[in-house]
Amino acid sequence: MENIYDVAIIGAGPAGLAAGLYAGRATLKTIVIEKAKTGGQIATTEEVANVPSSIRDASGPSLIARAVEQVDEFGAERVFDEITEVELEDKIKVLKGKKETYKAKAVIVATGAKPRLLGIPGEKELTGKGVSYCATCDGAFFEEMEVFVVGGGDSAVEEAMFLTKFARKVTILSRDPELTCAKSIQEKVFKNDKVEIMWNTEIKELKGDGILEAMTLENRETGERTEYVADEEDGTFGVFVFIGYQPQSELIKDVLDTEWGYIKTDENMNTNIPGVFAAGDVRVKTLRQVVTANADGALAAVQAEKYIENNFEE
C-alpha cells in the first residue's frame, strides 16, 4: 500500500515543530522533514528571555529539545532529508528529497529565513556570544553596555533606536557616507544623544575567547584600520547585524506566490495553492520571533486538518 502522509512539514524550526506537535496531536499521520539542524536560528541562541513561560536561564537548544520531545510524544515522524523538488498542484502533494520521495495530502512550508552575514573572521564563532541579528531577542542582554549596529537601512536604524532603551551608547556602522533609511527615521536618530554614526566603516574581524571582546574596523575611504576593545568593566559589547534577511524559499519560488522571496499567505497560513500552507519566518510578516513562528505553525496545522477533512473521504 502506498505510503501517503496526511501532513508533510518542510523545516524543523519553531514553526515546523509547532506544526508537527499540533498535527500529531490531531492524530494526523505527520512527517517533519529537516535538511540540516533541528531548531533553526534559535538553536544557536545561548539565552532566550522573550518566549512566554520559558524558564529563567532557558537556552535555544533547551527549548528546541523540549519541543522535539513533544513532537515525538504525539507521534509525528521526523527525518533528516533535503527536499530538492516539489509537485504541489495535484491533490496529493509530492516532495522529492535526496534520500526519499514523500507524498502527503497537505504540506506546510516552514523553511525559515536567515540573516545575511558579514562573512568575516570570528562572526560564526561569536554568534550568540556578542554577535546578534535580532535586537528584540538580545537587546536586554546589553543593558548599560556599548553596542554597534551594522547597516544603514530602515531596519538597521530602527533597531538601533530600539537598542537605545538598553545600551548606554549605540554606534551605527554605515559602509556608506550617508544613511539609506527613510528621512523620517534619520531625523529621529540624529536627535538621539545615545546614538553615534561612523561613516564609511566596515568590520573586518571579530575577536574573543568564547565571548566578543574586540573587533577590527576599517575606513572604506582611507583604508585605515582601528581596533575596538571592550570596556574593561563590561568585558564584552554587542554587534547587531542588520543587512537584510534571506528567506529560504528557493524550493518553491516558481510555485507559490512570493514577495521579495517571502511566501504570501492569508491570516490562516493558506498559500495560493489549496492544501499548501506556510508558517514562520519564510512567510510575509512583520515580526519574526519564536512566539510568532509557534503561532504560525499551530494555525497552519489546524487549517491543514480542516482542509483534509473537507477534501478527502474517510
Residue pair 238/132 in contact by the 8 Å Cβ criterion = yes
Letter string b/e over residues 15-49, b meaning 16 or more CB atoms within 10 A of that residue's CB:
bbbbbbbbbbbbebbbbbbbbeebbbbbbebeebe
Q: Say which of 81, 138, 281, 296 is annotated catalytic.
A: 138
- Grid cell for residue 101: 520521495
pLDDT of residue 55: 65
pLDDT of residue 57: 63
pLDDT of residue 48: 67
pLDDT tens per residue, the chain (314 residues)? 579 999 999 999 999 999 999 999 999 999 999 998 888 777 656 566 677 766 666 777 888 889 999 999 999 999 999 999 999 999 999 999 999 999 999 999 999 998 889 999 999 999 999 999 988 889 999 999 999 999 998 888 988 999 999 999 999 999 999 998 888 889 989 999 999 999 999 999 999 999 999 999 999 999 999 999 999 999 999 999 999 888 999 999 899 999 999 999 999 999 999 999 999 999 999 888 889 999 999 999 999 999 999 999 76
Is 181 known to be catalytic? no
- Grid cell for residue 269: 497560513
User: Is pTM, for the whole model, over 0.85?
Assistant: no
The C-alpha angle with vertex 132 and arms to 127 and 133, in degrees rounded to 5, equals: 120
pLDDT of residue 60: 76
Q: How far is CA 24 from CA 38, 72, 168, 259, 309, in A?
A: 17, 8, 47, 31, 15
Is 137 known to be catalytic? yes
Residue pair 282/262 in contact by the 8 Å Cβ criterion = yes
Q: Say which of 6, 134, 181, 296 is annotated catalytic.
A: 134
pLDDT of residue 45: 61
Q: Say which of 6, 137, 181, 296 is annotated catalytic.
A: 137
Q: Environment class of residue 203 by beta-carbon count within 10 Å: exposed (0-12), middle (13-18) or buried (19+)? A: buried
User: The dihedral of CA 155, 270, 255, 29: what is its sign?
Assistant: positive
Residue 132 amino acid letter: S
pLDDT of residue 37: 83
Helix crossing, 60-73 with 14-25: angle to 10°?
A: 20
Residue with cell 546578534: 132
User: Nearest 5°: phi and psi at 89?
Assistant: -75, -30
Q: Residue 43: helix, strand or coil by DSSP?
A: helix
Is 138 known to be catalytic? yes
Q: Residue 69: helix, strand or coil by DSSP?
A: helix
Q: Residue 294: helix, strand or coil by DSSP?
A: helix
Residue pair 48/66 in contact by the 8 Å Cβ criterion = no
pLDDT of residue 245: 82
**Residue 180: how many CA atoms within 13 Å on its side-chain side?**
13
* Pure H helices in 192-289: none
pLDDT of residue 134: 87
Tell me how far apart the alpha carbons of residues 136 and 134 are, in angstroms, rounded to a whole number.
6
